[in-house]
Structure 1
Amino acid sequence: MRFSGFGIAALATIADAAPTFHRNQARQNVTTASERLGLQWLGGNSSLPKILVLYTGGTIAGGSIYGALDDTQYGQLQITGEQIIARNPYLLNHTQLAVSNWTTEDDGSTGTNDALVMNMTRFAHDALCSEDSDIDGAIYTHGTNSLEETGFLMDLLVNCGKPIVAVGAMRPWTHLSFDGDANFFDGVMLAANPESRNRGLMVAFNARIIPGFWITKLHSTNPNAFGATAGGDLGLFINSLPVFFNTPSQPIFKHEFSIEEVSSDPSYPALPKVDILYAAREFDGKLVLDAQANGAQGVVIAGTGNGGIPSGDDEIEEALEKGLQIVVGTRSPFGPSSPARTPTYAKSGLVHVIQARIMLQLAIASGYNMNQTIELFEGKFREDIGQSWSPGS
């Protein structure tokens, strides 16, 4: 795998064959995480907040050779993280920025590669949460097709209170109405704001502040592409400054996983294989068995209505007996997949199926069995609706 523009520690992290990614680097007289990770800070005022830029490309970095009206066939032109920063001279009046490049030449992207996303998450955890950290927050650029997946994963694994903000764009930088510059600036200002601490991962998009736990892409082309499946926005940007609606809080249904424990799973440096299936009339239960035969350790089913599966019960039961873990959500964009009175598999509650896949991956990597996964997804929901359950009951 060939990477371009990585810091020293990022390369070391990816090359490691064991999950001891948070270890001392062999460097003399190192006193801060910035020095240890080889970060080069842009900006001349050392008193300003340090914001790490995790650059993964995406539409925000893509341009088109087809003119200023094209917003569907772009990608032939690319700009770097440093070039994005240079487009806005106001950024370095407010922050110091260092770019860590997470693009590859020939091995996919964070939209296609779990191992790359996990290595970036480990790097972010080290940079922000280590005892020698001198970094105030981070943002990551990302293609919008899977921005929510990376955000949800990082939200469950990097939890030391420092803000991480996702940014992207729906239009290429060659477009006459490019939205990426504003989203990037807003994201940096959000990550640098002291009031952003202890709110979990956030998304800065179209002058909105959206929680990373609930975020999903609701429109394929509109600049106002993202929204929350539950809970609503956290705030908005006025004059490119964050204005929050409430004091800091975390989603009740959020579970913080140990990044060290997850990284000890045999799937390292990636995550256990979990597939998503879409349920409709005459759903074929053999698809579940096929996924298992193809190496899946878990399956998330986007069920009908309140988490229903029209058919395939026998095959699902067989897969469960063979050790497959199953979570059933709803294909509806809003609303819960509610628990059954006597469960055999987990219902996802208010967690959207895209996020449920990542949550199941982390649960399997953390050693959860099916009953523990049911408790993970359903426990608080059952408590709230007075429908308790325990294995064997």
Structure 2
Amino acid sequence: MILSSFSAVALAVIFPFVWAAPTIKQVRSVTTASERLGLKWIGGNSTLPKVLVLFTGGTIASGSAYGALDDTQYGQLSISGELIIARNPYLFNHSQLAVSNWTTKDSSTGTNDALVMNMTRFAHDALCSEDSDIDGAIFTHGTNSLEETAFLMDLLINCGKPIVGVGSMRPWTYLSFDGDANFFQAVMLAGNPDSRNRGVMVALNDRILQGFWTTKLTATTPDAFGQVMGGELGAFLNNMPYFYNTPTTPIQKHEFDISAVSAHPSYPALPKVDILYAAREFDGRLVLNAKSNGAKGVIIAGTGNGGIPSGDKEISEAMKTGLQVVVGTRSPFGASSPARTSTWAKSGYVHVIQARIMLQLAIASGFDMKRTVDLFEGSLRKAIGQPL
């Protein structure tokens, strides 16, 4: 039957699907960590290494309202991670960059375990997931506690990809700002294939430092950071990284499972661990006070190779109630060596600042005091033939 013109028009109005093929919307599945995490890459050359910038601010992003001679009273002005990148177009000759912002108005990254842990979880996902398309990462940080975040990440992110901590000792308004060079060098380090399997590193003042051993040795000068042990990994020549040796791993390093740590009731932060400084007439009641204030562990910066002048009775009392105690040395270098019989753990060559983080992770991982002693002392006792 042949339809009249009127009938054809009527049917087209009533049953439009008869006359038009259905439109199928193509939905492309997410295939990379970058897409899944919403990262936007800056840079025109897609063949260059992708370096994730975890931006937490710090002196590198701070300026002074008091002029170009001030490097102690700054903080009134600030710039973003994107502006730091825009200051240095040379970055795009060597890398693609994406900024993940971890700044907050409420608290500093340096004073907030939960913020640092969440950033570490994000970095672990970005770098270590099966869909990761990212070659390495850097994190900007205030230098007051940069070493703490570097050490934490070093124990929790261990898939071989480079992570580099970077900051500056001078604000960007200062007449010889060190942050631009430090930032550039950190990106070059994170994007370099030779940086793989070296753990977390720190790039400051033309030095390549090992995150596990790095500490801040001076308060205000550009050459502020050094290593308590292990030696520097390398240096920057023409702003490019040069390594002195092939990759190595510190004997006292323990790789913790970030999933197990995150399952602890302290999530999203970490168990509370305090640091006490020992001197003549050390008051052991400070340890009891720490326990009553919610501490799950205490680090004591002991004298010499980890001595505690007094307070043994109170420390033992606190430990009977479940407090874990690790004793390091207040000296900047050297070991807190094991006693023949362990009452508490001695930190070995791990500096007290880093020992606090290691103990936090151990407690979050379910370690009891005996296992914590083995964590800190095991390799030292084996070396000197002194069993637990």
1:69-218 counterparts in 2 under 5 A? 69-106=69-106, 108-218=107-217
Q: State the shift of 1:58 in Å.
A: 0.2
Partner of 1:239: 238
Q: CA deviation at 1:28?
A: 6.3
**Superposed CA offset, 1:195-221 (max 9, x none):** 000000000000000000000000000
Q: Deviations over 1:235-271 (max 9, x none)?
A: 0000000000001111111000000000000000000
- How far apart, in 1, do the equivalents of 2:109 and 2:320 lie? 33
Residue 93 of structure 2 aligns to a residue whose secondary structure is: helix
Q: Which amino acid aligns with 2:348?
A: G
The equivalent of 2:273 in structure 1 is: 274
Q: How far apart are the structure 2 equivalents of 1:105 and 1:283?
A: 38
Alignment CA distance shift 1:267-1:172 (3 Å)? same
Q: Separation in 2 of the partners of 1:388 and 1:180?
A: 48
* CA distance in structure 1 between the aligned counterparts of 2:320 and 2:180, rounded to whole angstroms: 51
Letter in 1 for 2:380: F
| Alpha-carbon separation, structure 2, partners of 1:136 and 1:243 | 18
- For 1:164, the aligned partner's letter is I
- The amino acid that maps onto 2:62 is G
The match for 1:45 is 45
Residue identity matched to 2:356 = R
Displacement after TM superposition at 1:222 (Å): 0.6
* 2:192 partner amino acid: N
CA distance in 2, matches of 1:109, 1:92: 30
Partner of 1:90, secondary structure, is: helix
Match of 1:364 in 2: 363
Residue in 1 aligned with 2:264?
265
Q: Counterpart of 2:377?
A: 378
The AA in structure 2 aligned to 1:292 is: K
Long gaps (5+) in structure 2 = 1-26
Unaligned runs of 5+ in 1: 1-26
* 2-structure distance, mates of 1:225, 1:253: 24
TM-score, structure 2 normalization: 0.93
Hey, what does 2:68 align to over in structure 1?
68
What number of residue pairs does the alignment pair up?
362
Equivalent residue, structure 2, for 1:326? 325
Alignment of 1:287-306 (within 5 A): 287-306=286-305
Report the counterpart of residue 34 of structure 1 in structure 2.
34
1:215-234 alignment, distance < 5 Å:
215-234=214-233
Aligned equivalents of 1:386, 1:226: Cα separation in 2: 34
- For the residue of structure 2 that corresponds to 1:371, the secondary structure is helix
- In the alignment, the residues of structure 1 paired with residue 340 and residue 327 of structure 2 have an alpha-carbon distance, to the nearest angstrom, of 14
Superposed displacement of residue 109, structure 1: 1.9
Counterpart residue number, 1:11: none
1:19-60 Cα distance to aligned partner (Å, 9 max, x none): xxxxxxxx9611000000000000011110000000000000
Instruction: Report the structure number with the largest CA radius of gyration.
Output: 2
Distance in 2 between the 1:44 and 1:51 partners?
Answer: 14
Question: 2:61 is aligned with what amino acid?
Answer: A
Q: Deviations over 1:287-336 (max 9, x none)?
A: 00000000000000000000000000100010111110000000000000
Name the residue aligned to 1:307: 306
The DSSP-based 3-state class of the residue aligned with 1:111 is helix
Separation of aligned partners in 2, 1:280 and 1:188: 42
Q: Measure how far apart 1:105 and its partner are.
A: 1.8
Please list every run of at least 4 consecutive aligned residues from structure 1 whose deviation after the TM superposition is greater than 3 angstroms: none
Partner of 2:18: none
User: Percent identity among equivalent residues?
Assistant: 77
The residue type equivalent to 2:386 in the other structure is Q
Q: Secondary structure at the match of 1:339?
A: coil
Matched residue, 1:17: none
**Local SS of the residue matching 2:275:** strand
Structure 2: how far apart are the matches of 1:79 and 1:110? Answer: 16
